[in-house]
A and B are shown apart, each in its own frame.
Chain A
C-alpha cells in the first residue's frame, strides 16, 4: 500500500465526487457530439456479454418453455384439454364422413354410376423459372420422349391440389400458369352445395373469389373445388379453402404448396380441350400489318 498523508487523502476523498460528476457530464457531452463512440462501446459490451448471456439463456429457455421438461409439465393439462376437444371434434367429423360415404355409395348404386376413366398424365420436374410473359408461372421439364397426349390446357396438380394449367407446351417443356397469376380465372364450386364462383388470381399468395351468388356468400373454411362450367376443368378437383382476409374479402387459400413446387402431374382431359383460352402465340394477320403500314 502506498502511504499517503492524512490531509492529502482527505482532499482526494473530498474531490472524488465532483471530479466524477464532471467526468460523467463530459461523457454525456462526448456521447452527444459523436454518436459513433457510444455505438461502438455498446457493440463491444454486447460482444463481451454475449457468451455470458449464452450460458444462462439455455437453462432459462429449458426451464421456461420449449424443450424443457418443466415447461411441458406446466402446459400438460392445457394440452390435454385441447387434445380432448379436438378428439371429440374429429369423432364428429368421422361420423359425418361415414354418413356421407354411405349416402354416396347409395346414390352411385341408384344411378348406376360408373366413374370416368383416369385421365392420361405425365409427371415433370419444376424448373424454378418464374420468368416469361406471366408473373406467376413455372416451367415443367417433361420426361424424354414427351407426352403421349397433347398437353395444351392440361391441369397441373401437385400432391394436394390444383396448381394451374398448361398454357404453352413444347416437346420438352411446358409452362404452367399458376392459379395465383393475375391472368388466371378458374370457375369453382364452393362448399357442399357447389355454389358457383370465379377464382381470380391477384399475383398475391391468395386468389380472390368473384361473382359468387349474393344469396350464398362463401362460408369461411368451405372447400373450393373446380367446376366444369366452361369446360376448361373437370369438376371436383380440390383447389383450396375459403378464407376472409383482413379487408373482409373472400379469398382462397390454395391447398397446393405454390411456393415450393417440385414435381407436377399434368392431367390431360381430352374432352375439355377445345374450349380453352385462345392460344397466345398465333401470328398477327398479314393483311392487318399491311393495312397498318399504309398509314
Chain B
C-alpha cells in the first residue's frame, strides 16, 4: 500500500467532512436574519434534505453520530424539545440506509416523492411528539407549510447538493 502524503490525507479528510459541514453551516446560516418569510420553518426542511441526500449518496461521510449531532444542534437552535429532531433525523437516516439499494439506482424523479413522503412523516411525528410532550394539541398548519416547503425546496437543495457531491465532497478525487 502506497504511503499517502500529508496533503493528500488532509484533502481526503476535508472531503470527508463536507457533508456534515454543509449540515451544520446550513443550520447556522439559516439563523441569520434574512427577513425571509417562514425562515424559522426552513431549518428542519434543510436538515431533512441534507440528511436524506447524504445518507443516500455518501453514507460513510455522514455517520449516525454526525446525524445525531446535527439533530441536537437543530433542537438547540430552534425551540423543539432537545433530542426530538435528533431522533427523527436518525430515523430518516436509518430508513434511507435500509432502502438505499433500491433508491440509489433511481433518478431524481423517484427520490423526490420519496423524500417528500419522508419529510411529511417526520413533520407529523414532530408535531405529535411536541403535542405529547407539551400536553396540548398544537396547530396543524405549520406541519402543512413545512411539508410544502420540503416538497418545493428539495429540487433546489438537491441541485446544490449534487454539485457539492461531485465537487468538494468527492472523496474519490482526493
Interface residues of A (CB under 8 A from B): 16-17, 19-21, 23-32, 37-38, 41-42, 45, 49, 52-53, 56-57, 60, 64
Contact = CB atoms under 8 A, between A and B. Distances in A.
A16 B65 CA distance: 8
Given A16-B63, A17-B94, A28 B33 contact: no
Contacts of A17: 64, 90, 93-94, 97
Contacts of A38: 75-76, 81-82
B26 to A, nearest CB: 14
Given A17-B94, A28-B87, A42-B76, A49 B82 contact: no
Given A20-B64, A20-B67, A60 B83 contact: no
Contacts of A31: 81-83
Q: How would you classify the secondary structure of chain A's contact residues: helix, strand, loop or mixed?
A: helix
Interface of B is mostly: helix
A27 B83 contact: yes
A194 to B, nearest CB: 49
Contacts of A64: 34-35
Given A20-B64, A42-B76, 20 more contacts: A16-B64, A16-B65, A17-B97, A20-B90, A21-B64, A21-B87, A24-B83, A24-B90, A25-B83, A25-B87, A28-B133, A31-B81, A31-B82, A31-B83, A32-B133, A38-B81, A41-B76, A45-B76, A60-B32, A60-B34
Contacts, number: 74
Contacts of A29: 83
A28 B83 contact: yes
Interface in B64-101: 64-65, 67-68, 71-73, 75-77, 81-84, 86-87, 90-91, 93-94, 97
The size bracket of the interface on B is: 20 to 34
A267 to B, nearest CB: 51
A49 B87 contact: no
A19 to B, nearest CB: 8
Nearest to A44: B76
A53 B87 contact: no
B167 interface: no
Interface in B40-81: 63-65, 67-68, 71-73, 75-77, 81
A24 B86 contact: yes
B38 interface: no
A16, A20, A64 — which one has the most chain B CB atoms within 10 A of its CB?
A: A20
B31 interface: yes
Given A42-B76, A60-B32, A20 B81 contact: no
B104 interface: no
B137 to A, nearest CB: 18
A129 B147 CA distance: 59
A10 to B, nearest CB: 14
A28 B156 CA distance: 32
Contacts of A20: 64-65, 67-68, 90
Given A38-B76, A41-B82, A45-B76, A24 B71 contact: yes
Contacts of A49: 28, 31
A170 to B, nearest CB: 56
15 contacts: A17-B97, A21-B91, A23-B68, A24-B83, A24-B86, A28-B87, A30-B82, A30-B83, A31-B82, A38-B75, A38-B81, A41-B76, A42-B76, A53-B32, A57-B32
B13 to A, nearest CB: 12
Interface string B1-42: 000000000000000000000000000110111110000000
Among A16, A21, A57, the one with the most B-chain Cβ atoms within 10 Å of its Cβ is A21
B32 A32 contact: no
A60 B30 CA distance: 13
Contacts of A52: 28
A16 B75 CA distance: 21
Contacts of B73: 45
A167 B67 CA distance: 74
B77 A45 contact: yes
Nearest to B71: A24
A27 B82 contact: yes
Contact of A24 (B31, B77, B87, B133): B87
